[in-house]
Amino acid sequence: MGKELSHIPVLLEAVLGILEPRPGEVLLDCTAGLGGHAAAIGALLGGSGTVVLNDADPTNLGRAAERVRATGCRVIPLVGNFAEAPRKLTEAGLSGADMVLADLGFASNQVDDPARGFSFSRDGPLDMRLDPTLAATAADLVASLPQAELARIIAEFGEDRNAARIAQRIVEARRERPISTTRQLAE
């Protein structure tokens, strides 16, 4: 069994209890990940139900769609930021959703794969894109952003109170050599 198939969704019973899915309903999973929640809900929706899967990571979206299709419900995959989901629902001919789920954060397989560039424990290219089709990698940003902008990003998204000091060290280090791996950034 592949790792994506052994994925265990977080708080599944609580999610099912809160959403109370019924046959024929429509689920919008804004952050499909590997599809664990959506597959469990899809099984309850049955053949008359629809699961709309949205994710910025096209690889995970494909895995989630395959997993949810196995439940027998209709599956509509949407690649992109979940902020676009309402518009995309309308474009897909749906007037709305009966349930909306957003499990925010990274999927474990994204962090575990050093090639994705999210892990500091295993060296890999400094990428950090959930959607690998986006133009700018983390290495591009680290190489080009002014110190103040780096500090803002680290403080806002990394929630690190030492953001200003970290940004200063990044700017100093990049003067000596490009920062292109997760290990170099961690150092």
Note the pLDDT tens digit of each residue in 100-115. Answer: 999 876 666 666 667 7
Q: What are phi and psi of 65, to 5 degrees?
A: -60, -45
- DSSP class of residue 149 equals H
Q: Take residue 60 and report the two structure tokens written for it.
A: 């995970």
Query: 134 with 58: CB under 8 angstroms?
Result: no
| Percentage of residues of the chain with pLDDT beyond 70 | 89
Contacts of 100 (CB under 8 A, 6+ apart): 27, 28, 30
The per-residue pLDDT for range 5-27, each reduced to its tens digit, is: 456 888 999 999 999 999 999 99
- What sign does the CA torsion over 108, 127, 81, 49 have? negative
Q: Take residue 54 and report the two structure tokens written for it.
A: 């949205």
Q: pTM for the whole thing?
A: 0.70
